[in-house]
Amino acid sequence: MNRAEAVSYLLRDQPKDPKRDEGVYFAPANIALCKYWGKRNSELNLPYNSSLSISLQQYGAKTMIRPHADRFNRIRLNGQVVDNETSFAQKITAYLALFNMCSVTNYSVDTEINIPVGAGLASSACGFAALAGALGRLYDWELPKSTLSILGRLGSGSASRSFWHGFVEWQAGESADGMDSFGIPLTHLWPELRIGLLIFNTLAKPVSSREAMALTVATSPFYSLWPAKQNADLVRIKEAIATHNFNQLAETAEHNALTMHALMLTATPPILYSLPETLQGMKEVWHCRQRGVPVYFTQDAGPNLKLLFLAKDLPAVLASFPSLQVIAPFEGRDVA
Ligand code: 2P0
């Protein structure tokens, strides 16, 4: 099954004509505590392993989509028209082409993303989730969120986790067509949890996650160790969430991220997303811990760090990281 066949199958009983003038959808960005790194099927973005994330509350993508009476799509990001030749526009155009069983041939897509794009801050996750959700609203599809999650995954793997707030597990699934590979929200709330964005660089990354994953799987002699490590970490993280054991959660998440980056360093050619500032930031986190402040980090496919800590430690964490952008992922929520 290819991506277009998967979309046709999922939309087989759904309206193919727009039911309103526009569709609007917001999807939060998400940060993986237990990472997705390696595809068993790169056409369908099917992972080898399940992963687990925390959504970033009000940070994410809001997309409005409308039929566009022209020969091309018109794509705007944060109010600016994006040249159709850019890889950003081409990815969106290729994704929209998967929906060619629908009556609209071209769209106007307006996306507002309030986190840096392409810098390892999960912009493609929330971007594709918002796009799939906005299409669903335009056509009035009556789809369970698990199906929307599959549609998002076909744009970008981590988008499967961006349809909910709070903790979300992306269950890897086993079937070849990926119909059992989608996000599932965890019901646990953890109001004291804080995420701090430590942003060093917002430039687009030199190597895409897709390329980096493929290179790691194909060339790192240590990749074979990853699935067992990942499965064990997932169990520890879920247990930590269920029991509100912060140190277990954050220690496991930090080690999971460091292992993922260690695998990348052992690829040929090596992949290094960190900058000198990233390493300085890691050392500062470790110094904080030596001084008794329970703060940990995670790092994605970019140089920026995301700190994990509890609300009670905010003053101590800010003293070491004054520029930190702090997110309370559960603020104002009683359900995910
Ligand atoms: C994650 N990352 O679990 C991992 C950790 C980055 C590091 O998923 O090729 O944009 O579109 O499926 O989802 C980023 O990769 O990759 C990612 P594709 P995606 O969040």
- Tell me which residue has its CA closest to atom 8 in ligand 1: 158
Distance CA 152, CA 158 (A): 8
Let me know whether 127 and 205 are in one domain.
Answer: no
CA–centroid distance, 234 to ligand 1, in Å, is 17
Per-10-residue mean pLDDT of the chain, 336 residues long, equals: 97 97 98 98 98 96 96 94 92 96 96 76 89 98 97 98 98 98 97 95 81 98 97 98 98 98 98 96 98 98 95 98 95 71
Let me know whether 199 and 181 are in one domain.
Answer: no
CA–centroid distance, 150 to ligand 1, in Å, is 15
The burial of 206, by beta-carbon neighbours within 10 Å (0-12 exposed, 13-18 middle, 19 or more buried), is given as exposed
Let me know whether 156 and 281 are in one domain.
Answer: no
Distance CA 199, CA 165 (A): 22
Q: Is residue 321 part of a domain?
A: yes
How much is the pLDDT for 115? 81
Last residue of a domain, one of 150, 185, 220: 185
Decide whether any atom of ligand 1 lies within 6 Å of the 152 Cβ: no
How much is the pLDDT for 202? 72
Last residue of a domain, one of 163, 185, 207: 185
- Tell me which residue has its CA closest to atom 11 in ligand 1: 156
Let me know whether 276 and 233 are in one domain.
Answer: yes
Decide whether any atom of ligand 1 lies within 6 Å of the 300 Cβ: yes
Let me know whether 79 and 197 are in one domain.
Answer: no
User: pTM of the entire structure?
Assistant: 0.96
**CATH number, domain containing residue 275:** 3.30.70.890
DSSP calls for 91-108: HHHHHHHTTTTSS---EE
Let me know whether 25 and 156 are in one domain.
Answer: yes
Last residue of a domain, one of 151, 185, 219: 185
Decide whether any atom of ligand 1 lies within 6 Å of the 129 Cβ: no
How much is the pLDDT for 117? 64
Decide whether any atom of ligand 1 lies within 6 Å of the 220 Cβ: no
Side-chain half-sphere exposure of 44, counting CA atoms within 13 A? 24
List the structure tokens of 307. Answer: 């700190």
**CATH number, domain containing residue 161:** 3.30.230.10
Let me know whether 206 and 172 are in one domain.
Answer: no
Tokens 């402040």 correspond to 293
Residue 113 belongs to domain spanning: 3-185
Segment holding 67, helix H or strand E = strand 51-67
How much is the pLDDT for 332? 81
